[in-house]
Homo-oligomer: A and B are copies of this chain.
Amino acid sequence: MTADGTGRLEAFSDGVFAIAMTLLVLDMKVPHDLPSGQTLARALVAQWPTYLAFATSFATILIMWVNHHRLFTHIGRGDDGLLFSNGLLLLGVVLVPFPTALVSEYLGRAGQKTAALIYNSTFIAIALCFNLLWRSASTNGRLLRADHDREAVRHITDSFRFGPLFYVIALLVGFFSVTASLAVSCALAIYYALPSRTAAAIGHARPGHSRRV
Interface residues of A (CB under 8 A from B): 1-12, 14-26, 28, 30, 32, 34, 39-41, 44, 55, 58, 62, 65-66, 69, 72, 77-84, 87, 90-91, 94-95, 97-98, 101-102, 105-106, 110-111, 114-115, 118, 142-143, 193, 196-197, 199, 201-204, 210-213
CB pairs A–B below 8 angstroms (26 shown):
A1-B10, A7-B212, A7-B213, A8-B10, A8-B69, A8-B212, A8-B213, A9-B213, A11-B14, A12-B14, A20-B25, A25-B95, A40-B110, A40-B115, A41-B114, A44-B114, A55-B91, A58-B91, A66-B83, A77-B213, A78-B201, A80-B193, A80-B196, A80-B197, A80-B199, A80-B201
Please tell me if the beta carbons of A22 and B16 are within 8 angstroms of each other in the complex: yes
User: How many subunits of this chain does the assembly comprise?
Assistant: 4
Given contacts A1-B2, A15-B18, A87-B62, contact A79 B7 (CB under 8 A): no
Q: Write the chain B residue with the least CB distance to A96.
A: B25
Q: Write the chain B residue with the least CB distance to A75.
A: B213
* Chain B residues, Cβ within 8 Å of A213: 5-9, 77-79, 82-83
Please tell me if the beta carbons of B19 and A19 are within 8 angstroms of each other in the complex: yes
A67: min CB distance to chain B, Å = 10
Q: Write the chain B residue with the least CB distance to A142.
A: B201
A138: min CB distance to chain B, Å = 14
